[in-house]
Amino acid sequence: MLEMIAIGYDLDASPRMLHGVRLLREALEACDYMVEEKAGGWAWNRYRDTGNRKIYVGRRTGSELLAELEARDVLLYHTDEPTGEGFYLASCPGRLVVVSGGNDSGALYGCKELAVRIREEGGLPRELSFGDTPCLDWRGPAIGMQKQHVEPGRQPFEYPLTPDRFPWFYDRVMWLDYLDMLLEHRGNSLYLWNANPFASLIDLPGEPEAREVTKDQLEENASLLHWLTEEADRRGIQCFLAFYSIHIPQGFADKHGLSYKQLKPLPETSDYFRRLLTAFVRAFPSVGLMVCLGEKLKGQMYGAEWLCETILPGIMEGFGQSAAAEPPPVVVRSHAIDIEKVMKEADGLYPNLHSEMKFNGESLTTWTPRGGAQGLHRRLAERDGKHLVTVHMNANLEPFRWGAPSFIQRCVQAARYRLKASALQIFPLSYWSWPYSPDRSEHPIKQVDRDWIWFEAWLRYAWNSDRDGKAEKSHWIARLEEKYGSRQSAEHLLHAYETIGTCAPKLLRRFGITQGNRQTMSLGMTMSQLTNPERHVPWSELWESHAPQGERLEEFVLKQLAGMPHLGETPLDIVEEVERASEEASKAAKQARMTVKKNKAEFERLAADIDAIKAMTNTYTYKVRAALLVFMYKHTAFGKYAERVSLLEEAAEWLDKSVAAYRKLTETTEKHYGFANGMQTAHRKIPFREGKFINHWRDCLPLFERELAVFRQRIGELRAGKMPASLNQAPSVSYRRYRQASFTLLSEDAELYRIEKGARVFTDGDIPIISCAEELYGLTGIRYSQLRAAHEEIRLDVELKEPSLILVGCFNSRDDQWMKPGGVAAVDQYTFGLDPVIRRGIRLFVYPSVHVHALPYEAGRHTLCFGKGAFLILGVIELHQNLSDREFDPQNEERTLLDWLYEMKEVEMVQ
């Protein structure tokens, strides 16, 4: 006779708790129990009336039975009492098993844990006393409602929700599988990213132009979102919609005579978004919102205004019109804004506000973020503990499989302990091609299947980051054994995953230019990008914050030549480490092949990825050795270029090996991948521009072969006594720093700073100097709030000890956020006119170049005011000295940069 088991719960059990009961019932029935559900009537002095075994599921703070059992010392916890999503499983007298949840999610997770144990043991366990609780509050992935290409007539990121664009969005079976996967690994958040999803979901009364889809399509979209959020909620998952600012529908823009590209708030756009958000929250009160105040909107200047005066009021108004018990969570991204200023101004305006910041920028490089990025994370987390870390884009890992569990565990620990985060968001490995992987295959491969270890590991450690290392190794070997049918192969594959997983992170952080969509790392880098990174607008945070302490290539060579001690990671350290790791991974994959019994086709794809990463690694390490020799040549030739050509010949041998490795990489990827870079737009600059057309290794191989050919040609010409004409000319003018004059800054809302590479030019934001003319280097500048300059005329009070020239930087742009060069005319007392003395004298990260003007002032106190818009004060210098009258162009200084050795442009060579 089958054993009867009753599952009880209170009458007010939520859909989330009832879903947990369903999971229990299915597990029990799979083990041949008869199951009876009993809602209500559970009391401490009556539950023993039946002699059957029974399970009670409850929320600790809302269950009368659990409260009575605790009060009478029948239900005792040997760990902390369950709170929040925590739970406790206990065997109690009277053949009762209790699932005590801190809240409804805790009860659900408790049911899920018990269901797993029932299936593993083949029955309901007799003895239970187990508690568990998550270390992070939110744990979940992002999904892009975006595509790889920009649609004609639209802007980047703008894709209305329609079945032809996103057929998978309407596949409810796929959604249920995905939600079940998240529940399986205790993921509790889901983020859908789109520029303006509301225009495909909300029909504003009297505003048909604000709708981007047909009315029928909009109703279908709204119905699907309602269903999705209900099914997610049943599984304890909080849904978010992520949106950018300011994106308006084309029809709305045309109706109001507005530009499609909105850079700052306007009454029309503010009114539209406020009404739109009010209507959305009223219709979908349980859906959280994630706002990116950057991208189109100039978030550094207008982000706080847009959030505090439009976004949050619209959400609060919608909440007030809804039946929700609390306002939806709102996450503010730190991208392209002064996040600290924004959060400070928003304090007190909204009760459920969270900050967000990327873990390693838009790549995965280290589990020890440091420097400015770490400091900002900590300050945001200390604000009120509501801080989310995003493992964003992972552009250096694409398009290959990646899943090093110990690397991921350390990253989550770092997010928790180094950055003090309370939540984690992860991106899929191939964000832009969701839901399918970029593999060439007869049938599309879903990323949840291909990259299962990626999703599982992040969610596993977001629940508990401090699991025992030995136990974790056993866990992952068991999971790989399930996949490939052999423990022996599983052990080899785990070693392969762990070792190959270090290669891309280490290579990018030590040798890369930037992160994210600007650089497709697997396509390689040019010699110019390795030996002249300043030319390619590097993002210094990559190695200053998102890498351990270490040295860049030229710094390493200079220290070697000077006999100075090295600090942290050196280029050769990384070369040796990644070569060894990739070789170990390759051997492990070959050993695993001999015992694989299941999923052999997928194993071969994984093995091919390991081969590809090994070839990519060699491409880099051989080229780095060549670059080090070029730097050695640069700093030891002293103008005698032909005498040190043997260094270049040795470099050419390494470059030849690099190209050979790249050919192997191309052969491997030709069979398995249709493209390398997920986002195929003009955003991609490295190694080559035109990401839409040069997006496969076969496209890049001829360019790298030509680079090698040019290099060998230049070496031959040097051997023959020929050099570029510019090197035979007399040395160019040596530009000395202008002589600085004494002055005092009187304005309390501004500050002094040194003009040099890496210096921030405004008090708000993080825009650094990439390069500056020699005449300016080391001068004392004045910086102030760029945000203020967008709204009012900046007035700076200074006192000059003697008649002087004040260097004013004007941005080379017509955009209205910058002060116009004509603003200096009012103080032009002499004959300098409006012509700059150094054209493009300052180069900033992502900002326009800066023309430098010299304005004369008498001794005494002065107020500098040039009209509305931002400008730079780049120093105060003596009146009587020679001024340059030139254009600063560091890219064309062939004497020091040596790009002529391998550049593809024509260079005049003379005897």
835 DSSP assignment:
-
CA distances from 399 to 189, 501, 791 (A): 25, 13, 44
| pLDDT of 826 | 47
Helix (H, G, I), strand (E, B) or coil at 330: strand
φ/ψ (deg, to 5) at 201: -130, -25
- The CA distances from residue 881 to 738, 803, 836, 884, in Å, are 8, 12, 16, 10
d(CA 414, CA 514): 22
Q: E strand or H helix at 218, and its extent?
A: helix 215-234
The stretches in the chain having pLDDT less than 50 are 730-731, 826-833, 894-895
Q: Distance between CA 636 and CA 644 in Å, rounded?
A: 8
Report how far residue 222's alpha carbon sits from residue 210's, in angstroms, rounded to the nearest whole number.
Answer: 16
Spell out the residues 6+ positions from residue 220 whose beta carbon is closer than 8 angstroms to its own.
170
CA distance 337 to 577: 37
| AA letter at 117 | R
DSSP state of 211: -
pLDDT of residue 834: 61
Categorise residue 15: left if φ over 0, alpha if ψ from -120 to 50, beta otherwise. Answer: alpha
- The pLDDT assigned to 829 comes to 41
Angstrom distance (rounded) from CA 616 to CA 656:
14
CA 578 to chain centre: 23
Quick check: helix, strand or coil at residue 90? strand
> Residue 736, SS3?
coil
Nearest to 851 by CA among 828, 868, 835: 835
Cis peptide before 246 (omega within 30 of 0): yes
Q: With both helix axes pointing from N to C terminus, report the angle between 503-511 and 600-636 in degrees, rounded to the nearest 10.
A: 20
Q: What secondary structure letter does DSSP report for 777?
A: T
Cβ within 8 Å of residue 293, ≥6 positions away = 245, 299, 302, 303, 306, 307, 332, 333, 335, 336, 337, 342
pTM to 2 decimals? Answer: 0.90
595 vs 515: CA distance, rounded Å: 38
- How far out from the chain centre does Cα 249 lie? 27
Q: How far apart are CA 258 and CA 266, in angstroms?
A: 10
Overall residue count recorded for the chain in this entry: 911
Beta strands 138-144; 87-92: pairing state: unpaired
- pLDDT at residue 911, rounded to an integer: 59
Please state whether the peptide bond connecting residue 687 to the residue before it is cis, i.e. omega within 30 degrees of 0.
yes
Token readout for 792 is 């009012």
DSSP 8-state class, residue 432: G
Q: Are strands 423-426 and 769-772 parallel, antiparallel or unpaired?
A: unpaired
CA dist., res. 698 & res. 371, Å (int): 38
